[in-house]
């Protein structure tokens, strides 16, 4: 931990990084993936009778290989510019003399590195799906529980018409449903073998190159690509862009919780506890710390994902620096997205919903949140425009004279109350489809969250 803090410290990751995701992308995991790809290539060549049984037996001993001198390996990689030449040298040095020289046959550095990344992003993609399902399940529970819980809907940050807290959650749940579908597709798209040789022709692999790729893919649990993709980075970029969409949705949730947690609103709050969200100087404070951390992580993921578009601007048959950008921003996007999902799940798990405050806030501003309801009720009698202007004038009177809207309406037109079967109108009677569509959103999520088929 001390070495990690010294060499790669940043406060956001130190406090809130999803370590499970980070472990899938760290040096040990990356090195293991490089070795796994080299061995899968050798095993496949053995199956095709391109390597002898004596050689493959020795190569299999390399499965758990790790460099004895990491600094030397790093120095070689820096000198070459890439790690695979040094890796193959070390693997050969670890073999008996008779088994050397049979690794990496027909492959190029980027084949190994890209296939290793495909392995890693497939694992990360599955983890992201697990995290998203957990988050969505908590949203679905809130949606079901509060499908009929009335609260003020807000447009342009002001009271608009009544809605329900369940419907508010259902909108986020709909995004989660679509994000899960996109994430599954993007993960599968990204999980392809790259094994096409120096310039994508597979010339060094001979006439059976397609079969070799298929065998390597099957061994690694990946899909076999039909075309070289050394410079075609849309699969990895697509996964990153899915992460950006998901993270943007999570960022919006964080802002919603922060806004609804305001002292003068108080409709939701994060889980409490001794010194939870405390201020060092203001003893009364209970800051929305999980929402703030979630927002920070989500914004990182959104920002780094954008850079993947630049990583796609490669020329000819091999990148000249654009690929290097991907090395940094793709793992960062994946880590930050997973961290944001963990934070979002924890936030919803402990979220306190203050239904009393929601009911109280519906009465603010003289009950003008029901203005549209009165207008719609009067429209069949006097026409929409006349009804609109009448309720508009009544709204001004309510504010100027500090009286409830129903009183202002009867003061302007004493016959108004007789136009409604129930007087005054209640928010619970003007919720439209909120409850029904909330339950429909939960049903759609329940269907979407079922495990999809494998590659």
Q: Which residues are catalytic?
A: 279, 318
Q: Give strand pairing partners of 193.
A: 224
For 194, the 3-state DSSP assignment is coil
Question: Is residue 193 a contact partner of residue 220, using CB atoms and an 8 Å limit?
Answer: yes
The pairing of strands 192-193 and 223-224 is: parallel
H or E segment to which residue 192 belongs: strand 192-193
Neighbouring residues of 238: CB distance < 8 A, sequence distance ≥ 6: 186, 189, 190
Question: Is residue 307 a contact partner of residue 217, using CB atoms and an 8 Å limit?
Answer: no
Distance, first Cα to last Cα, the chain: 36
Question: Is residue 243 a contact partner of residue 341, using CB atoms and an 8 Å limit?
Answer: no
Which runs of consecutive H residues, i.e. helices, occur in 261-288? Answer: none
DSSP 193: E
DSSP 290-343: HHHHHHHHHHHHHHHHHHHHHHT---TTS-SSHHHHHHHHHHHHHHHHHHHHHH
Which runs of consecutive H residues, i.e. helices, occur in 202-264? Answer: 209-220, 234-260
For 228, the 3-state DSSP assignment is coil
**43, 287, 406 from 382: Cα distances, Å:** 82, 50, 18
Q: Sort residue 428 into left (φ over 0), alpha (ψ -120 to 50) or beta.
A: alpha
Using a 10 angstrom Cβ sphere, with 0-12 exposed, 13-18 middle and 19 or more buried, the burial of residue 71 is exposed
**30, 34, 83, 152, 163 from 359: Cα distances, Å:** 53, 59, 62, 8, 11
Q: How far apart are CA 267 and CA 76, in angstroms?
A: 59
Positive or negative torsion for Cα 359, 361, 364, 367 = negative
Q: How many CA atoms lie within 13 A of 269 on its CB side?
A: 17
What's the distance, CA 231 to chain centroid? Answer: 25
Query: Six-digit token pair at 114?
Result: 């890209």
Q: How many CA atoms lie within 13 A of 385 on its CB side?
A: 0
């Amino acid at each position: 931990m001390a070495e990690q803090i010294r060499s790669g410290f940043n406060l956001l990751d130190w406090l809130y990084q999803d370590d499970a995701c980070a472990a899938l992308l760290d040096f040990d995991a990356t090195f293991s993936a490089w070795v796994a790809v080299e061995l899968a290539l050798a095993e496949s060549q053995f199956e095709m009778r391109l390597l002898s049984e004596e050689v493959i037996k020795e190569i299999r001993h390399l499965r758990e290989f790790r460099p004895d001198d990491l600094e030397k390996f790093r120095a070689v990689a820096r000198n070459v510019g890439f790690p695979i030449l040094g890796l193959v040298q070390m693997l050969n040095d670890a073999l008996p003399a008779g088994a050397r020289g049979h690794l990496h046959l027909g492959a190029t550095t980027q084949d190994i590195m890209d296939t290793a990344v495909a392995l890693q992003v497939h694992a990360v993609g599955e983890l992201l799906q697990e995290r998203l399902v957990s988050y969505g399940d908590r949203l679905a529970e809130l949606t079901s529980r509060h499908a009929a819980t009335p609260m003020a809907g807000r447009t342009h940050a002001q009271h608009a018409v009544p809605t329900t807290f369940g419907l508010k959650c259902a909108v986020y749940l709909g995004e989660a449903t679509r994000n899960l579908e996109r994430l599954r597709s993007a993960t599968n798209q990204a999980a392809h073998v790259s094994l096409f040789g120096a310039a994508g022709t597979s010339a060094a692999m001979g006439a059976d190159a397609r079969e070799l790729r298929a065998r390597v893919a099957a061994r690694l649990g990946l899909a076999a690509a039909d075309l070289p993709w050394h410079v075609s980075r849309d699969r990895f970029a697509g996964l990153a862009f899915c992460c950006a969409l998901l993270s943007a949705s999570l960022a919006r949730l964080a802002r919603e919780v922060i806004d609804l947690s305001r002292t003068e609103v108080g409709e939701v709050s994060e889980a409490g506890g001794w010194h939870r969200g405390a201020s060092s100087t203001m003893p009364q404070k209970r800051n929305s710390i999980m929402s703030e951390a979630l927002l920070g992580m989500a914004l990182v993921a959104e920002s780094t994902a954008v850079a993947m578009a630049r990583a796609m601007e490669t020329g000819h048959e091999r990148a000249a620096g654009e690929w290097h950008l991907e090395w940094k921003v793709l793992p960062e996007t994946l880590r930050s997205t997973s961290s944001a999902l963990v934070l979002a799940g924890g936030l919803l798990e402990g979220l306190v919903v203050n239904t009393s405050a929601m009911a109280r806030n519906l009465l603010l501003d003289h009950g003008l949140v029901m203005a549209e309801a009165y207008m719609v009720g009067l429209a069949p009698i006097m026409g929409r425009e006349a009804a609109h202007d009448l309720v508009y004038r009544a709204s001004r009177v309510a504010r100027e004279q500090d009286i409830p809207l129903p009183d202002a309406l009867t003061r302007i037109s004493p016959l108004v109350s007789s136009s409604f079967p129930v007087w005054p109108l209640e928010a619970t009677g003007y919720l439209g489809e909120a409850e029904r569509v909330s339950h429909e959103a939960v049903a759609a999520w329940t269907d979407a969250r079922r495990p999809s088929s494998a590659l």
